[in-house]
A = this chain, B = another copy of it.
Amino acid sequence: MTSWLPSLKTNTAEEGYELAVKLSRMAVKLTQPDAEARERMRGQYAEDADALIVASHVVATNFATVAAANGYWRDAP
């Protein structure tokens, strides 16, 4: 079976940011496995500035981890 998280390594900072978003969503998925329920809530909080800001905080926290794991992509071309 393929892992949804084979590694924290990414080629670029931008891909690292995308991985941080994925990590942030996975925790929600584990608590609310019903895709339809998640879609419904997404429609709601996409219009709710407070929720969007907190969601951005979660991504920031995960991005810190991914960035550290990649040595901040300092050796990237």
Residue numbers of A with Cβ under 8 A of B are: 3-9, 12-14, 17, 21, 23-28, 30-32, 37, 41-42, 44-65, 67-69, 72-74, 76
Contact = CB atoms under 8 A, between A and B. Distances in A.
Count of chain copies? 6
15 contacts: A3-B14, A8-B67, A24-B56, A24-B60, A25-B56, A27-B56, A28-B55, A31-B42, A53-B54, A58-B60, A60-B65, A61-B64, A65-B72, A67-B68, A69-B72
Contacts of A6: 12-14
Sorted nearest first, the 6 A-B pairs with minimum C-beta distance are A69-B72, A27-B56, A60-B61, A27-B59, A41-B49, A45-B49
Given A31-B42, A47-B37, A57-B58, A63 B13 contact: no
